[in-house]
Amino acid sequence: MKKNKKNKVFRFIFMVFFMSFLVIYFSELAGYYEYQNYKKATLTEEQIRKFEHDVEEGKEVDLNKYLVMEEKSYKNNLSKISNDLSNAISNIVQDGVENTFKFLSKLIDN
């Protein structure tokens, strides 16, 4: 019975990885990534033309006006929890190492 349950879990994990692979593979075949890069390059060319046009007209040029940065926020509850957990573990390990070295320095001094 235990072996059967392990097989089901293994098959499920394998299927999730396989389906993820297929999604990424077919999106690559469809040219999704190339299209995204093309859009970025086109936007950059348009911004360069605007910049050059403004320089020719003698307008005041602010570089931030021409840089188009899409700030994507990947924050969600899972990332916040993971970050907090990572910071807590880091603090615990740091305190442990500091206390260990303090203890060792006391042993050496005595």
Residues in the chain, pLDDT under 70:
1, 41, 43, 63, 66-71, 110
Instruction: In whole angstroms, give the CA distance from residue 27 to residue 16.
Output: 17
| pLDDT for 70 | 67
Q: For the chain, give the secondary structure using H, E and C.
A: CHHHHHHHHHHHHHHHHHHHHHHHHHHHHCCHHHHHHHHHHHHHHHHHHHHHHHHHHCCCCCHHHHCCCCCCCCCCHHHHHHHHHHHHHHHHHHHHHHHHHHHHHHHHHC
